[in-house]
Each structure stands twice: as C-alpha cells, then as structure tokens.
Amino acid sequence: MAVVENGLVSVPSACAAKRILVHVCCGPCSIMPLKSALAHSAEVCGFFHNPNIHPYAEFKKRLDAAKTLSRLISVKMIYDEAYAPTGFIKGVKARSPDKYPQYGKRCLYCYASRLEATAKAAAHNGFDAFSSSLLYSRYQNHEKIRLIGNALARKYKVSFYYEDFRIGWQAGITESKSMGLYRQRYCGCVYSKMESKANGKHAKKGA
C-alpha cells in the first residue's frame, strides 16, 4: 500500500519494481514469490538457474515443474537448461575447509552463486529488480539470503525485491499439490541427497 506523507506518495520497495526477475529454484517454492511479484509489478519473469541440483534426472524434473508452473500461472520464464554441476561442486569445495562440505557453510556459496547469476541477468536485461524463491523456504537461512541479495543489489545496481514469502508456506504447498507439480524430497545438491538417504526422511527440502 502506498504511504502519503507531506503530500508525497511513497511506494514500498516491493511495489516500486516495474520489471522484476525472480530466481526460480523449483516449481513448488516459486508459486508464492511469483504470485506476489505479479501482484506488485508491471512485468514479471522467472529465471530457472540451479547448477546445484544432482543428478540430471532430478534437474530435469525440477526444470519441467518450472515450465509447467510458467504455463499454469502465465508467467514468462528464462531457463538455464545446461546441466553443469561440476562448477558448483568446485565452488563449494574451494570455500570449504572441511573434507565434507557441511550444510549451512556450503549453502552460502549455493545461495550466492544462484543469486549472483540472477542479479547479473536482471542488470543485463534492464530489469528494475530481482528476487528469489529461496525466500519462500523454511529450510534455508533466510537472513543470509537477504544479506547476499542486498549486497548483490549494490554490486549490480539493480534492486533486491525482498519479501518474507514463508508467510505463504502452507498456501504454496496446497497450490503445488492442486497443480500436480513435482515436489522434491531433498534440497538439491549431491550432499543433501546423501543426507536425505542417510536420514531416511526428507532432509532440508526446498532448493
């Protein structure tokens, strides 16, 4: 809602974005962020870029779910369909002193690399702002994502569209089920897949 002060209209940053590029990690997590962006912006485009996902069969399922979502809610989407997990693994290992990159530490590189690709694409294509479906997940470090997004906004001179999409957690789950979207059973990387198997349950879902 716009705020009027001393005769001047201040539009909240979320509403000020005319063209916004939203990083899409998977179909289910992207429903609420894309719908919110649609409600606040003149033009919304999704951006599927997830080199963290392992293996290829899982990558393809999430890519297909993003395409289905794009069709169902009529949002344009850019797809980075190149499957290149080697760069992701190298990036994680380069920043991890541990033999086994731990959950949390490894995620910082994972957030930063995907958000940076989104910020770059947004700046390059003349978008006013960028955001990410990572802000929907209850399993991710929300504050770190926010900090990284803000730092990248300064670096690439394009606004970071921040919203706590976790508020729509249950609505997103319900909608993803009614849309019949593929719902993943682990976060995405090879490590989260191994941990999911070892725990025998859904470990840190949401890519």
Please say which residue, 14 or 53, places its beta carbon nearer to ligand SF4.
Answer: 53
Which of 29, 106, 118, 148 is in the footprint of ligand SF4 by CB under 6 A? 106
Interface pick for ligand SF4 out of 79, 83, 103, 169 (rule CB under 6 A): 103
Angstrom distances, CA of residue 113 to CA of 9, 37, 50, 121: 36, 22, 9, 12
Q: Judged by CB, which is closer to ligand SF4: 73, or 91?
A: 91
| Residue 66 lies near ligand SF4 (rule: CB under 6 A) | no
Q: Which two tokens stand for residue 173?
A: 């789950």
Report the residue from 51, 168, 172, 188 that binds ligand SF4 according to the rule CB under 6 A. Answer: 188
**Among residues 110, 129, 135, 153, the one that binds ligand SF4 under rule CB under 6 A:** 110
Residue 148 sits in the site that holds ligand SF4 (CB under 6 A): no
Residues 6+ apart with CB under 8 A from 156: 119, 120, 122, 123
* 24 near ligand SF4, judged by CB under 6 A: no
Q: Applying CB under 6 A, which part among 10-18, 26-34, 99-107, 147-155 lies near ligand SF4?
A: 99-107
- Close Cβ partners of 163 (under 8 Å, ≥ 6 residues apart): 14, 33, 36, 131, 135
Cα–Cα distances in Å, from 189 out to 79, 116, 141, 177, 185? 19, 18, 16, 23, 12
Q: Which is nearer to ligand SF4, 136 or 191 (CB)?
A: 191
Q: Which two tokens stand for residue 109?
A: 């590189």
Minimal distance, residue 47 CB to ligand SF4, in Å:
17
Binding residues (CB under 6 A) for ligand SF4: these are 52, 103, 106-107, 110, 187-189, 191-192, 204, 207
